[in-house]
Amino acid sequence: MEILGNLTSILPTFLLTSIPGLESVHAWVSLPFGFLYAIALSGNSMILLVIITQKNLHEPMYYFLSMLSAADLGLTISTMSTTLPILWFNAREISLDNCITQMFFLHGFTFIESGVLVAMAFDRYVAICDPLRYTTILTTSRIIQMGLLIIIRTVVLIVPLLLLLKSLNFCRKNVLSHSYCYHPDVIKFSCSDTRANNICGLIDLILTTGVDTPCIVLSYILIIYSVFSMASPKEWHKVFSTCVSHIGAVAIFYIPMISLSLVHRYGQSAPKVVHSMMASIYLLLPPVLNPIIYSVKTKHIRKAILSLLFTK
């Protein structure tokens, strides 16, 4: 028993952090967090449900939207599993293995969402620039292939990154900056050489954000070029209105992600509450706002949700 107790005591553990300075009012803080999680879960579940059940929504654009909602659900559940227990029960301690498991899903769904946003940009490009071939280019089998490619890319990139964590030594009980395990936040507490981890993380960043962002920008450059060749300003407005939802989804995903990365890299002197709030915004904003944006701006989704809610 003594040997087992000594072994347990040297296993690396981490302490998660909610919002520094508000520990005494966690019960009240849990109310807005619980409300936002409820919106994210119900909104994305509703979009998935209407796309699955409504045959008129079985089109490429809505297939990609269902992938986006599934990724948002995964992100919500990944963070909710540790954030709410901290606020409700002050359950802050987490083992390295549980931390790695959470990072697999958290970073995995982040990579998937980034890939889906690229696929949605390609969908908008084909729909606007080559509408006559839209149904022949974006067939159901091709959409499935794109989905599988996004998942394969995610697994290939994230598994080596997390396996490298197992070889690191952590010398003490480490207090993380967020209410969930975030890879750059975890490795900074290692006593070992983390150059391999940093290089692997940089490669992952280049092969996800570094590839996906230029692809999205390029698709909209081609769309803008195509739109301005049209004669009628009325057609310009009609075309751009079909892209508003996707542009909003891209903005609320990439802006908080880039901001959090910059805070971690260059904002070491920033107050801890800044790190905490940026982390919450980074992973709560897309799942909460995406269903609202698409419900408001996409007429078919809005009508399908209303008919489902108010069917007699």
What domain range includes position 218? Answer: 23-310
For the chain (312 residues), the mean pLDDT of every run of 10, in chain order, is 42 84 83 94 95 92 96 95 92 93 96 97 93 93 96 97 91 83 89 92 93 95 85 73 90 88 71 77 91 89 85 58
Looking at the domain assignment, is residue 83 inside a domain?
Answer: yes
| Predicted local confidence at residue 222, as pLDDT | 92
Q: Which CATH number fits the domain that encloses residue 209?
A: 1.20.1070.10
Q: List the one residue out of 258, 246, 248 whose CA is nearest residue 282.
A: 258
Helices 140-166 and 60-89: angle between axes, nearest 10 degrees: 30
Looking at the domain assignment, is residue 1 inside a domain?
Answer: no
Looking at the domain assignment, is residue 16 inside a domain?
Answer: no
29 within 8 A of 18, measured Cβ to Cβ = yes
Between CA 151 and CA 149 the distance in angstroms is 5
Looking at the domain assignment, is residue 196 inside a domain?
Answer: yes
Between CA 126 and CA 64 the distance in angstroms is 14
What secondary structure letter does DSSP report for 135? H
Looking at the domain assignment, is residue 288 inside a domain?
Answer: yes
pTM for this model (two decimals)? 0.92
| Predicted local confidence at residue 4, as pLDDT | 38
Between CA 263 and CA 270 the distance in angstroms is 8
| Predicted local confidence at residue 300, as pLDDT | 86
Between CA 74 and CA 112 the distance in angstroms is 10
| Predicted local confidence at residue 7, as pLDDT | 38
Looking at the domain assignment, is residue 13 inside a domain?
Answer: no
Looking at the domain assignment, is residue 153 inside a domain?
Answer: yes
Number of domains in the chain: 1
**Cα dist from 178 to 97, 144, 154, whole Å:** 17, 35, 23
Looking at the domain assignment, is residue 10 inside a domain?
Answer: no
| Predicted local confidence at residue 311, as pLDDT | 67
